[in-house]
Amino acid sequence: MGALTLAAYLTYSYSIRDIGAARGMLVNAAAPALTALLSWVLIASSLTSGQLFGMFWVALAIILLLTELSNSQRLKRLHELEPQNGNQSKLMPLIPQKIAEFSQNQSLKPIALRLEPGDDVRQTLEAIAKQENIHAGFILSAVGSLSTVRLRFADAESATELSGKHEMVSLSGTVSAAGVHLHLMVSNAAGECRGGHLVTGCTVYTTLELVIGQLSGVRFERVMDAKTGFPELAIVPEEER
């Protein structure tokens, strides 16, 4: 009896890690009813009407609590899986299809170059895109400094020129012979950062090391969008052109 009791307690303690504290509490609550039931089965102990009544309500309560726990865990998993933005739920079924559509038979070809002092960043990138006939390019890496910085900030109608020399913190965007769309972030001598839309007039101070990636099998084109009033990115498979 002592060995069986010890084994039972050890097994129960280890099982708590798997079933959790909530279900472990239910096992404890069911212990008196299970003891009475086993005594009736194993040693033919008689059960009173009060005991049977209590066993019925304990069993019913345990079933209801287990159902509640299962529902709570299922709702938690669904909440973790669903998108936080309502619009994303409409887009999610389309995203894998778009990725699969353009991911077949693709390769990446890098172009590395250095811009020299006085080069206009945007004009140079536009010229390189046409010269190299880049169909679908994007900025992989950009490190350098600028003597003149001109940025168009969010929702601004005109560009703003920043005074002083600046380090380029990041440059990102798409590049193609059909046009470029680039965002730039720079920091001044005090380490203060500002960023916005890269426009003509940003000139290299000492150097600008650039790496452009080219995708095959797809083209980046610019199509006027009636909703925004700007020529926006259109991703077109190469064979459809």
CATH of the domain at 141: 3.30.1330.80
Residues 116, 152: one domain? yes
In this predicted structure, which of 120-129, 148-157, 180-189, 216-225 has the lowest mean pLDDT? 216-225
Q: How many domains does the chain have?
A: 2
CA distances from 117 to 2, 84, 146, 157, 203 (A): 87, 46, 8, 28, 7
Mean pLDDT for the chain overall: 80
The answer to whether residues 70 and 176 belong to one domain is no
Same domain flag for 17 and 128: no
Give a yes or no: residue 154 inside a domain.
Answer: yes
The residue among 86 and 182 whose pLDDT is bigger is 182
In a domain, residue 131? The reply is: yes
Instruction: Please indicate, yes or no, whether residues 42 and 146 belong to a single structural domain of this protein.
Output: no
Residues 116 and 232 in one domain: yes
Residue 57 lies inside a defined structural domain of this protein: yes
Q: What's residue 95's pLDDT? A: 45
Confidence of residue 45 (pLDDT cuts 50, 70, 90): confident
Range of the domain at 48: 2-81
Residue predicted with more confidence, 136 or 34? 136
First to last CA, the chain: 83
Among 81, 113, 128, residue at a domain's last position: 81
Residue 196 placed within a domain: yes
Residues with Cβ within 8 Å of 123's Cβ and at least 6 positions away in sequence, in order, are 200
Category of 156 on φ-ψ map: left (φ > 0), alpha (ψ -120 to 50) or beta? beta
Same domain, 116 and 72: no
Domain boundary among the residues 14, 48, 81 is at 81
What is the reported pTM?
Answer: 0.56
